[in-house]
Amino acid sequence: MRILVRKTEILCWSLVICSWSLGGLVCAQDSQPSAPTAPAEPNPDPVKAANTAKETEKGTGSSSSSAMDYLFNRKPQEGSAAKEVMEAQSRGKAKLIAQEALGGGRIEDPAMRNRFEKYLGMAEVTPDQLKSYESDSNKVVQLLRGGKTTEAWKELYKLAEYQNIDAGVSLELANRIESIWNADRTSSQLDKKNEQLRREIDSANRNADMMSNEIRQDEIEFQKKMRSGGGSKQQPANNGGSPNGGVPSTTQETSGSTASSNVNSVLGKLELTEEYLNSLEKKARIKLNELKSEKLFDKAKDDFALYITTLYDSGRQRHVLIAADFWRKIFDQGDYPVSMAQQVNASLEMSRDVQNNIDVFNHRLEEKEISAATDRLQEAFMLNELHPSVLGLPRAKKKEVEGFTRRLSRMQNMLEARDFSSLETLLEEMKKMAPDFDTTKPLAIINAVKLESQLRLGKAKLAAQSGDLKMAMEEFQTAAETWPGNPDLKDKALTFFNSQDMQTQSLTEFDRLVTENNYRGIFDKQLMFAPAMKDDTKRQEQLKAALEKVKGAEIAIEKANLLRANGDVFGAWEAVELAVKDLPMDIKLNTLRGDLSGKGAEFVSAINKAKEAEAQKMLGYSLTWYAIAQRQYPASQIANQGIERISQEIVSKSAL
Amino acid sequence: MSSLNPYQDPEPGKVVSPFAQSENAVPRKNGGNTKVVLWIGLAVVLIAAGAVAGIFLTGYLNDPYRTLEPFPVSKFLDTPRSLMGSKFKAELRVEADLAYKEGVGRLMLFSTKDDSRPIAVMVPTPVAKDIYFTKGQTYMAELEVKEGGLIYANSCKKN
């Protein structure tokens, strides 16, 4: 559980860092100038400069706040980096929920889990083999403790032959030991070389001494000759007691008396110098070889310690113990270094823990507590998968664990995929197979997610009913993501989309009818159109206008029928005629008008002629016909209005 | 039996007047006076007829529209364009006053003597200035159909 919590924390922090990086990116993009800015000019006005600084600060703040706004308040668009992050977050969340639901009953590391699953399917190592291997490895330890390092080393090759237990690690250990010995051999060779060099130094020293004596003798002879033969005035007083044993000095070389000495004396001095230098060089070589040898030794020691660490890390605890003993013997150390001692101790403890876990596993299995048994086996495997008790576990026992872990794996997949319908069946199976498996958490999560999905669906429905299609779609999507297999989702989504489809169809038909000026059609389907244009103000206005027109027509029809019933055919016709002006294509109105036209033919003819003449600008003629029509039906609105209108027009025109 | 009834036909099936066998009670007057009276009467009649004829002749000769054709209302209502530019006379009866504009005239509705259907007539100001049109009054007028089928009264006098 602690590991799970830590992983959750890591995931959260990584998401925060990711978001922060994205924010930084946005900030960087925001702060990038769109055009190259002019070089800053010195600002002589300090107040202005302060204001500029404030503005700059404000600008930075605004870019930061816009980035924060972008991150927290805006929804990432399709295909954006932020969307990717959100999806990754969503996947991570689903995985964490699934893992939490399983109660940490599975190995989280995929590589380790794969190995464990593979181990469950593998045949066990026979007890004879295990016993034999253990006996041989104990023998190695005994030999080492008896100081028989080489024999112990030879035994390692035997251990390596148990391929399915040892996996060749003993062979590798043997090779390592051999390489250390080889390094030791190299060190011995260097020692031999050093011995040779020391001899050469001694020889050079002797030669130098001899040469020095010879030179001294020559000089004494030379001085004697000079004293007896009145030779050179100036002789070095201290040549005989030269502190450097006859090595020519600079003063001697530069003096005028030396220049006049004989050639043999000079040559002797040069040889002496060469011998001296050879001696120094050899001493240096000896020192270098010593350093080299020491380094080789240290390196071999460190490498071997490192190899032991590798063995420890790979779970080869038995080999750690053997290798540590070898290390002590080979490098002739009384005790282990601290880190190695810790590894040895930990290996011993782990070995004991593994054994304990396997014992508990066997017990749990006998009690049919598969879940607990699986936990124990997993722990033992993770501590040391090559431990003899782990390797020797019979396949029949592992099979039950294998079945359980396979179901656990399926369960996790189902939880991640939110396939709750199949998951419930699987949980039943699990309960039968492993009665100790706690289904409380998975069931609680299933119920919570189902409830959330249902609530989202309800919210989507309400949003759709209130005409908020965007929110409805978002809620549908969330409900689907929460529980893709929700059986209500299909029905509700289908209803929603059908209604949306109907709405679209209604609006298309409405637009067509508006284009055709078919207001009667709109009137007849007003109940269908009205809900479809809840938030469409323009269409609402069009619908209102259409309904008012048809309403006017309906009133006119009612009026016409009433007038006709009272014998006022002209009045009836006129009522319809006036309504037709607003609805020229209305079939109902036109039918009634046709019917009434036949009955009031004389009046209708007069009105029509008047209208026709008016249209042709035959105003006098039109006026006469309006007057005739008015004579026939004095209450005629069309005639009276026509007379009034044309009279005024004639009088006005004549005035011009 | 037959002798007792004086009105009885002497012959059966035949009716005889009761004064058939009586003489005239009033004697006949002289015929010369009758003739004079007749001549005088004839003269009077002739004089009267001459007077009437004179009156008619005078009236006829004094009628300015005597040369004009009566306005054909029906033809106007059928084809107003065919009457455009022609002048007619008509006895108009005032039906309604539609509009008036100073300097333009008065737009009236009249009916003619022969056709009761109303026609719109523009009576220009010079013509209409001395006339006070009252509904039901009749006027003689010279009419001319002008552009747009509008009838103008070129002159008008009360009947």
Query: Nearest-CA distance from A518 to chain B in Å?
Result: 37
CA A285 – CA A532 distance, rounded (Å)? 102
| pLDDT band at residue A193 under the 50/70/90 scheme | confident
pLDDT, residue A522, reads: 87
| pLDDT band at residue A65 under the 50/70/90 scheme | low
What one-letter code names the amino acid at A205? N
Mention every residue, 6+ apart, whose C-beta is less than 8 A from residue A605. Answer: none
Chain A residue numbers touching B96 (CB-CB < 8 A) = 627
pLDDT, residue A82, reads: 59
CA A610 – CA A606 distance, rounded (Å)? 6
**Hey, are the CB atoms on B120 and A624 less than 8 Å from each other?**
yes
Element housing B157 (H / E): strand B150-158
User: Rounded to a whole number, what is the distance in angstroms from the first to the last CA of chain A?
Assistant: 104
pLDDT at B141 over 60: yes
CA A63 – CA A23 distance, rounded (Å)? 10
CA distances to A111, A305, B30, B33, B50 from B37, in Å: 166, 189, 13, 6, 20
Same domain for B86 and B28?
A: no
What chain A residue is nearest to B118 in terms of C-alpha separation? A628
**Hey, are the CB atoms on A643 and B98 less than 8 Å from each other?**
yes
Q: Which residues pair with B93 in a beta bridge?
A: B111, B138
What one-letter code names the amino acid at A379? E
Q: What are phi and psi of B70, to 5 degrees?
A: -65, 145
Burial code (b: 16+ CB inside 10 Å, e: under 16) for A100-116 equals: bbbbebbbeeeeeeeeb
Q: What is the mean pLDDT of residues A302-308?
A: 88
Q: Strands B150-158 and B119-124, how do they pair?
A: parallel
pLDDT at B98 over 80: yes
Q: What is the mean pLDDT of residues A630-646?
A: 93
pLDDT, residue A241, reads: 46
pLDDT, residue A604, reads: 93
CA A6 – CA A651 distance, rounded (Å)? 100
Same domain for B74 and B100?
A: yes
Number of alpha carbons in the 13 Å side-chain half-sphere of residue A513? 24
| pLDDT band at residue B145 under the 50/70/90 scheme | very high
Query: Nearest-CA distance from A650 to chain B in Å?
Result: 9
CA B92 – CA B111 distance, rounded (Å)? 6
Same domain for B36 and B73?
A: no
pLDDT, residue A76, reads: 52
Same domain for B140 and B153?
A: yes
- Long-range contacts: A323-326, Cβ < 8 Å, 24+? A323/A173, A323/A176, A325/A141, A325/A144, A325/A145, A325/A152, A326/A144, A326/A149, A326/A152, A326/A153, A326/A173, A326/A177
Q: Look-up: residue for tokens 């090559």?
A: A386
Could you tell me if A603 lies within 8 Å of chain B, comparing CB atoms? Answer: no
pLDDT, residue A83, reads: 61
Instruction: Looking at A533-632, list the stretches that DSSP marks H as alpha helix, in order from N- to C-terminal side.
Output: 537-565, 569-582, 587-599, 601-615, 619-632
Could you tell me if A639 lies within 8 Å of chain B, comparing CB atoms? Answer: no
Query: Nearest-CA distance from A649 to chain B in Å?
Result: 10
Q: Which of residues A219 and A573 earns the better pLDDT score?
A: A573
pLDDT at A249 over 70: no
Q: What angle do CA A340, A343, A348 make, to 5 degrees?
A: 130
Element housing B154 (H / E): strand B150-158
**Hey, are the CB atoms on B149 and A618 less than 8 Å from each other?**
yes
Closest CB to B120: pick one of A617, A620, A631.
A620
CA A526 – CA A522 distance, rounded (Å)? 6
Q: Assign A456 to helix, strand or coil.
A: helix
CATH assignment at residue B139: 2.40.50.140
Highest averaged pLDDT of the listed ranges A209-218, A219-228, A327-336, A633-642? A633-642
Mention every residue, 6+ apart, whose C-beta is less than 8 A from residue A218. Answer: A262, A264, A265, A268
Q: Which of residues B22 and A35 earns the better pLDDT score?
A: B22
Domain that holds residue B31: 1-62
Q: What does the pLDDT look like over A375-421, one tens digit per residue? A: 899 999 988 888 888 888 998 888 888 888 888 888 888 887 777 77
CA A360 – CA A372 distance, rounded (Å)? 9
Q: What is the mean pLDDT of residues B61-76?
A: 86
Tokens of A99: 């893992």
Q: Which residues pair with B109 in a beta bridge?
A: B96, B120
pLDDT, residue B16, reads: 64
CA A584 – CA A82 distance, rounded (Å)? 58
Could you tell me if A636 lies within 8 Å of chain B, comparing CB atoms? Answer: no
Mention every residue, 6+ apart, whose C-beta is less than 8 A from residue B78. Answer: none
Q: What is the DSSP letter of A514?
A: H
Same domain for B112 and B137?
A: yes
Same domain for B78 and B57?
A: no
pLDDT, residue A262, reads: 59
Same domain for B149 and B75?
A: yes
Q: Rounded to two decimals, what is the model's pTM?
A: 0.42
Count helices and strands (H / E) in chain B: 3, 6
The residue from B62, B86, B103 where one domain ends is B62
CA distances to A625, A653, B75, B81, B82 from A618, in Å: 11, 13, 16, 10, 13
Tell me how crowded residue A226 is: count the other CB atoms within 10 A of its CB: 14
pLDDT at A230 over 80: no
Any idea of the CA torsion for A150, A153, A154, A159, to the nearest 10 degrees? 160
Q: What does the pLDDT look like over A583-616, one tens digit per residue? A: 888 888 889 989 898 888 999 999 999 999 999 9
**Hey, are the CB atoms on A648 and B80 less than 8 Å from each other?**
no
What one-letter code names the amino acid at A104? G
Q: What is the 3-state secondary structure (H, E, C) of B81-147?
A: HHHECCEEEEEEEEEEEEEEECCCEEEEEEEECCCCCCEEEEEEHHHHCCCCCCCCCEEEEEEEEEH
Q: Assign A527 to helix, strand or coil.
A: helix
The residue from B29, B62, B95 where one domain ends is B62
What one-letter code names the amino acid at A526? Q
What DSSP string runs through A421-432? HHHHHHHHHHHH
Same domain for B43 and B74?
A: no
pLDDT at A170 over 60: yes
Q: What angle do CA A565, A566, A572 make, to 5 degrees?
A: 70
Q: Is A90 exposed, middle or buried (0-12, 13-18, 19+ CB in 10 A)?
A: exposed
What ipTM was predicted for this assembly?
0.70
Chain A residue numbers touching B80 (CB-CB < 8 A) = 618, 620-621
Query: Nearest-CA distance from B124 to chain A in Å?
Result: 10
| pLDDT band at residue A427 under the 50/70/90 scheme | confident
Q: Which of residues A215 and B92 earns the better pLDDT score?
A: B92
CA A23 – CA A29 distance, rounded (Å)? 10
Q: Which of residues A13 and A546 earns the better pLDDT score?
A: A546
Could you tell me if B134 and B158 are in contact, meaning their C-beta atoms sit under 8 angstroms apart?
A: no
Same domain for B154 and B97?
A: yes
pLDDT at B1 over 50: no
pLDDT, residue B96, reads: 92
Closest CB to B150: pick one of A627, A628, A650.
A650
Same domain for B57 and B71?
A: no
Q: Which of residues B70 and A44 earns the better pLDDT score?
A: B70
The residue from B62, B77, B111 where one domain ends is B62
Q: Which of residues A102 and A364 earns the better pLDDT score?
A: A364
pLDDT at A32 over 80: no
What one-letter code names the amino acid at A286? I
**Hey, are the CB atoms on B122 and A620 less than 8 Å from each other?**
yes
CA A513 – CA A570 distance, rounded (Å)? 32
CA A437 – CA A443 distance, rounded (Å)? 12
**Hey, are the CB atoms on A650 and B122 less than 8 Å from each other?**
yes
Count helices and strands (H / E) in chain A: 28, 0
Domain count, chain B: 2
Q: What is the mean pLDDT of residues B20-39?
A: 70
pLDDT at B47 over 90: yes
pLDDT above 90 covers a percentage of chain A that reads 14
Tokens of B63: 């009628």
Chain A residue numbers touching B146 (CB-CB < 8 A) = 620
Could you tell me if A189 and A154 are in contact, meaning their C-beta atoms sit under 8 angstroms apart?
A: no
Q: Which residues pair with B84 in a beta bridge?
A: B145
Q: Which residues pair with B61 in a beta bridge?
A: none
Query: Nearest-CA distance from B114 to chain A in Å?
Result: 15
pLDDT, residue A336, reads: 83
Q: What does the pLDDT look like over A320-338, one tens digit per residue? A: 989 998 888 888 877 888 8
Strands (DSSP E) along A146-223, which ranges?
Answer: none
